[in-house]
Structure 1
Amino acid sequence: MRQRSTSQKVLIVIAGFMAVWLGAYFLYQKPHAEKTLPGLRARLGGGGASAEFLNAKKAAEYYQYEIRRNPKVAENYVQLAHIFLQEARVTGRHHEYFPQAQEMLEDALRLRPNHFEALATKAAMLLTLHHFEEAKQLAEQAQTRAPQTAFVYGVLCDALLELGDYEGAVKACDEMLSLKPDLRAYARAAYLRELHGDREGAVHVMRMACDAGVFGQENRAWALYQLGKLYFNLGRPDTAAYIYRGILEERPNYAYALAGLAQISSARGNAEEAIDLFKQAYRVLPDHGFLESLAGLYRSNGQTEKADEMIKLVLENFAQHEEQGWNIDLEYARFCGDHDLNLDEALRRSKRDHARRPNNIDALSVHGWLLHKNGKTAEALPLMEQAMRLRTPRSEIYARAGLMAQALGQNQKAINYLEQALALNAHFSTAEIRVAEQALAELRRGNKVS
């Protein structure tokens, strides 16, 4: 009896152990239902039925399942954040998807504070929100932890570009190219070439970026759009239009291709067609840049009431962006400077933006323009000239520098800058071209008289 009792006790202990082990095993395997995870929402305009969206939706569902099954694997949160960020880029619905991506990245970093991909992805998101300094810090942390990862160098390159450290950006891009020469690396290299005045080299490398892309995918469409812009800025609008139409064959209703065609129509004096195309683009992708273009077109076309409507919408968009954590100092200052609105506030913002990144070309040129608009032209012109230090082929900067030089009585300098502006691209902005041409004609007449 005693031996049997002992055997029973052993069996009971074993059975108890097995019950605990099996319970733990199935608890581990069973998805954790208590955490509500965000997902993708149907795209507008029939985009919800596309293979691209359906694949993204399946991928999101997979990572949601993996997170529920094992909530302690940081990588799954990072991959889900990537999906949300890409969907925000494709749809323009940043206000929906950025908070979701941020939540996933915070979960990942709570689990693994030094997870390099989570750090780099958070940095990429901060770049979109224009928090450049914090983005650079996170990208540098990620680079320290993963010095052989191309994605990290791409994010670091972008942060350095925005902060005006162009030498550092070139080095980061070179590292990215050496590790993984793909579409993203080539596109950055092309931008840097253009920034340094090598437009033909930029075209060559951007074509490499396009060739490295997958037919119909959003990143290839974006690279092709950038290629079209390069050709437009080279004074070859027919080639640019051909590229934009090709994008629309690969990816119907791609908003930036529609906007590119709108810009060409505007340059050719077909304002109504340009307006219609920008409206189409905005219906597909709610980018405030399209509204800004519409405001300018309506104004130059004499449609004052409609221009005022667009201006109101743009300013409302800016306010919403700020509520959602964006830094829009540069965008606000540039828009108000272009439309002679709220010039005191615009100057305050351009000054703040310039202070945080004093070597950035955009920060320099916008602050210079706002100083000029506020009657401080003597302070403004040196900033514009600093913005031209790399010989970046931006007609607008040269044209505005010419107008400033004219206002200061530096007539020969004004002629040189205005001639360069028109030589770089005679199509850069219908309204500004007229002003530049009139100023140049006046200066030339004055030189003949003197």
Structure 2
Amino acid sequence: MKREILYTLTIILLVAAAATAFVYNRNHEKPIPPLKQRQGPISTSSEWLNTKAAIEGLQYKIRRDKGDTQSKLLLALAYMQEARVTGEHPYYYPAALDLIDEVLDRKNAAPEVRYEATIAKGMIQLSLHKFKEALETGKQAQALNAKRASVYGVLCDANLELGNYNEAIKMADKMVSIRPDLMSYARISYLREIHGDLDGAIKAMELAARAGYPGLEQTSWAMYTLGGLYEKKGDLKLAALTYQQILRERPSYAFAKGGLGRLQAKQGNTREAIKLYSEAANTIPEFSFQQELARLYHKTGEHKKAKTITKELLAGFEEDQEAGHDMNLELAHAYMDLEQNYDEALTFAMKEYKKRPANIDVNKTLAAIYYHKGNYKKANSYLKKATITNSQDPGLLCLNGLVSYKLGHKAAGEKLVQHSFSLNPFMDDAIANEAKSLLRKSYSKL
């Protein structure tokens, strides 16, 4: 009898424990990340109304069925797109990643949903600058389905950022062979650019821009990148026409307005440049707009304004870091270019170098820092890695020329500097200004 009572009590306790666990889990499930209200010009478009309606519909489906992996995936993708449109990266990328992880944790997720979720996770990791993690995630997606173009986009980007350039080329070729579209052409374009083929890069990006639907954010991004390539070619008129076309098709696209601001700065119209960059910064919280504004205010002697913007910029980087976004390289540039704090810049640049020692941009940054610190031999050691792809980036060529000059190779150094200004006569940073001074002294001796 006592044993039966004991069994009964045990069963009752187990049922009670299960019920408690059910209620606890139900009450402690992660809430659906809410949609943030857009602000400023991007809040008045019909696209925003459609986006809100679609996201609210997905949120409703998830509230009704917590196991709806398809809706969670679609909501994560929508939040990834909102991050691009609004610049609210610290909020949307972690929110999207939480949703993706919930999908991948479900053993009953359909194979196609699991594949797309894995791709989305890799893309988020790339956006957060978690490049090694993105490479592993890309390989997991490839194991799920090696016939889709999207997986090779993740693998291309991850390898590229890690400095595995030959592997990145293979992945881009594979991607474009499966699906020649905006995203695959864009990757081909960038790889051509960093390997010194600017004309080929322009042709590929023109294909990318034509492959997109006018007015969509992705198409505007491709056109903006194309405008940047025209600038590097020295065709400021065609660049301006490209940015203006973007704004006709997508009036709230802040990067196009920033592009026009950059063109005004190059032509010496500093006040107009400040106006355009300010409008862009008031549209989305994009760090590059703040950096350019700080530089321009220093140029006009408004150092107090420059310091205020720099302080806000660094605070924004800290917020991004707390959200899981690795911002070491961006911090290095901010401390180097805006604060002239080369020791602090070096600290952040070395953190990034330890993660991806073969990346040409990381090595270029370290070379620039050591140049400012007067350690030309050290700068040269990083330049050897930064120039491995034969990039014709004028800033890189200019830095390389200055370092060569300082190391005693004066003729070769001057030639590189002259070549850099023939490619981009509008360079106006600290290194470019020192190079201009060097050339003036050289010409005065003739």
User: TM-score surpassing 0.5?
Assistant: yes
C-alpha deviation, 1:219, in angstroms = 0.5
Whether 1:302 aligns to 2:301 is yes
Q: Which moved further from structure 2: 41-50 or 354-363?
A: 41-50
CA RMSD of aligned residues (A): 2.1
Q: C-alpha distance in 1, partners of 2:130/2:358? A: 16
- Once the two structures are superposed, residues 211-259 of structure 1 have per-residue CA deviations (whole angstroms, 9 ceiling, x without a partner) of 1111111111111100100001100101100111111111113110011
- Residue number in structure 2 paired with 1:132: 131
- Select between 294-303 and 132-141 the one with higher mean Cα deviation: 294-303
Q: CA deviation at 1:158?
A: 1.1
Q: Hey, what does 1:9 align to over in structure 2?
A: none
* Map of 1:108 onto structure 2: 103
In 2: Cα distance, 1:74 partner to 1:146 partner? 19
Instruction: Give the equivalent residue in structure 2 for 1:190.
Output: 189
Query: Which of 381-390 and 156-165 deviates more?
Result: 381-390
Identity percentage of aligned residues: 37
State the alpha-carbon separation in 2 of the partners of residues 66 and 249 from structure 1.
Answer: 36
**Which of residues 98, 117, 120 in structure 1 aligns to 2:93?**
98
- Contact 1:108–1:118 (Cα < 8 Å) also in 2: yes
Q: Tell me the distance in 2 between the aligned counterparts of 1:279 and 1:236.
A: 24
More divergent stretch after superposition (394-403 vs 384-393):
384-393
Which residue of the partner structure matches residue 344 of structure 1?
343
- d(CA) in 1 for partners of 2:63 and 2:309? 45
Q: Cα offset for 1:46?
A: 4.9
Residue matched to 1:396: 395
The structure-2 alpha-carbon separation of the partners of 1:266 and 1:431, relative to structure 1 and needing over 3 Å to count, comes to farther
Q: Deviations over 1:357-405 (max 9, x none)?
A: 1211100100111122233211111322331222212111111222222
Matched letter for residue 83 of structure 2: A
Cα 1:49/1:313, change in 2 over 3 Å: closer
1:178-205 residue CA offsets vs partner (Å, 9 max, x unmatched): 1211111111111111111111111111
Give the letter aligned to residue 353 of structure 2. H
Per the alignment, in what secondary structure is the counterpart of residue 351 of structure 2? helix
Give CA-to-partner distance per residue, 1:152-182, whole Å, 9 cap, x none: 1111111111111111111111111112111
Q: Does 1:59 pair with 2:58?
A: no
Q: Secondary structure of 1:389's partner? A: coil
Say yes or no: does 1:230 pair with 2:219. no
Q: CA deviation at 1:419?
A: 1.3
* SS, match of residue 282 in structure 2: helix
Contact 1:427 1:433 in 2 (8 A): no
Which of residues 67, 78, 86 in structure 2 aligns to 1:83? 78
Shift of 1:91: 0.5
3-state SS, counterpart of residue 429 of structure 1: coil
**Residues 296-317 of structure 1, C-alpha deviation per residue, up to 9 Å, x if partnerless?**
1111222222222222122212
Q: Which residue of 2 aligns with 1:47?
A: 42
Q: Alignment length, in residue pairs?
A: 416
Distance 2:261 2:167 in 1: 35
Task: Report the secondary structure of 2:141's partner residue.
Answer: helix
Is residue 42–residue 252 contact of structure 2 (8 Å, CA) maintained in 1? no
- Residue 335 of structure 1 is matched in structure 2 by 334
Shift of residue 110, structure 1, vs aligned partner = 0.8
| Residue of structure 2 equivalent to 1:256 | 255
Structure 2 match to 1:387? 386
Runs of 4+, deviation exceeding 6 Å: none
Q: Which residue of 1 aligns with 2:11?
A: none
CA drift of 1:325 comes to 1.5
- State the partner residue of 1:418: 417
Higher mean alpha-carbon deviation, 346-355 vs 201-210, is at 346-355
After superposition, give the CA deviation of every residue in 1:62-87 in whole Å (9 maximum; x if it has no partner).
33233344433423221110000101
Is 1:355 aligned to residue 354 of structure 2?
yes
CA distance in 2 between counterparts of 1:348 and 1:209 reads 38
The whole-number CA distance in structure 2 between the counterparts of 1:308 and 1:273 is 20
Q: Please say which of residues 77-86 and 386-395 is displaced more in the overlay.
A: 386-395
C-alpha distance in structure 2 between counterparts of 1:203 and 1:62, whole Å: 40
Bigger drift between 91-100 and 237-246 goes to 91-100
1:389-440 CA-to-partner distances (Å, cap 9, x unmatched) read: 2221211111122222222222122112201211221123365543322212
Matched, 1:179 2:174: no
Q: Secondary structure at the match of 1:350?
A: helix
Say if 2:152 and 2:171, in contact at 8 Å, map to a contact too. yes
1:364–1:384 contact (8 Å) kept in structure 2: yes
Q: CA deviation at 1:444?
A: 4.7
TM-score by length of 1: 0.87
Greater C-alpha radius of gyration: 1
For 1:300, the aligned partner's letter is: K
Deviation at 1:340, TM superposition (A): 4.7
1:325 is the counterpart of 2:324: yes
Matched AA of 2:47 = E
C-alpha distance 350-46 of structure 1, shift in aligned 2 (>3 A): closer
| Greater displacement, 66-75 / 121-130 | 66-75
Distance 1:387 1:290 in 2: 26
8 Å contact kept, 2:317–2:331: yes
Comparing 250-259 with 340-349, which one deviates more in the overlay?
340-349
CA distance in 1, matches of 2:319, 2:251: 29
For structure 2, the 5+ residue unaligned runs are 1-26
1:233 aligned partner, one-letter code: K
1:37 corresponds to which residue? 32
Q: TM-score, normalised by structure 2?
A: 0.88
Look up the match of 1:162: 161
Quick check: 1:233–1:428 contact (8 Å CA) kept in 2? no
Offset of 1:445 from its aligned partner?
A: 4.8
In the other structure, the counterpart of 1:16 is none
The reply on whether 1:437 has 2:436 as its aligned counterpart is yes
How far did 1:44 drift?
Answer: 1.3
Quick one: which amino acid aligns to residue 126 of structure 2?
A: L
